[in-house]
Structure 1
Amino acid sequence: MLDEAEPLMLEYARELEVWTCAWYDAAVAANLVRPPFHPDATIIKRLQGYFHGGLSPAEAADACFGRNH
């Protein structure tokens, strides 16, 4: 028997995967990173916060790699 939360977990994982791919594409398109880019644990933690905070992938790429004020 499937846990009722399992479909939600799968949906969340898929949304996060799509968002992360879009974030990577936005970062490459803005010349913020060059492929292949492999984020470290700190970047991954930031991305989780950006995703949960509702930032778009482009906003997250800029927040992650853009110039600090």
Structure 2
Amino acid sequence: MFNESNQLPYEYERDLDAWTCAWYDAAVARNFVRSPYHPDAATVRRLQAYFHVGLLPAEAAEACFGIKH
């Protein structure tokens, strides 16, 4: 588990960055967002959680922007 500091391990940061780029591409491809898109703080926290639990970027785009039941 991470400590309470704002420092992320470099490998985690690199993986999260690559995953986020893939998430963005998936969201644009599915017409959930248009470029340029700037997520708010709540969306960023949600994305970090989706990454942490192991969702694929396309799954996270659907979870973030898809129809909620």
Please name the residue that 1:31 is paired with: 31
Query: Number of paired residues?
Result: 62
- Any unmatched runs of 5+ in structure 2? 1-7
Q: Deviations over 1:43-63 (max 9, x none)?
A: 001001100010000000000
Please name the residue that 2:52 is paired with: 52
More helix by share: 1
TM-score of the pair, normalised by structure 2: 0.86
TM-score of the pair, normalised by structure 1: 0.86
Which letter does structure 2 place at the counterpart of 1:33? V
> How high is the sequence identity, in percent, across the aligned residues?
68
Counterpart Cα distance in 2 of 1:60 and 1:19: 10
CA drift at 1:21? 0.1
Segments of 4+ moved more than 6 angstroms = none
CA drift at 1:9? 1.2
- Any unmatched runs of 5+ in structure 1? 1-7
Which letter does structure 2 place at the counterpart of 1:52? H
RMSD: 1.1
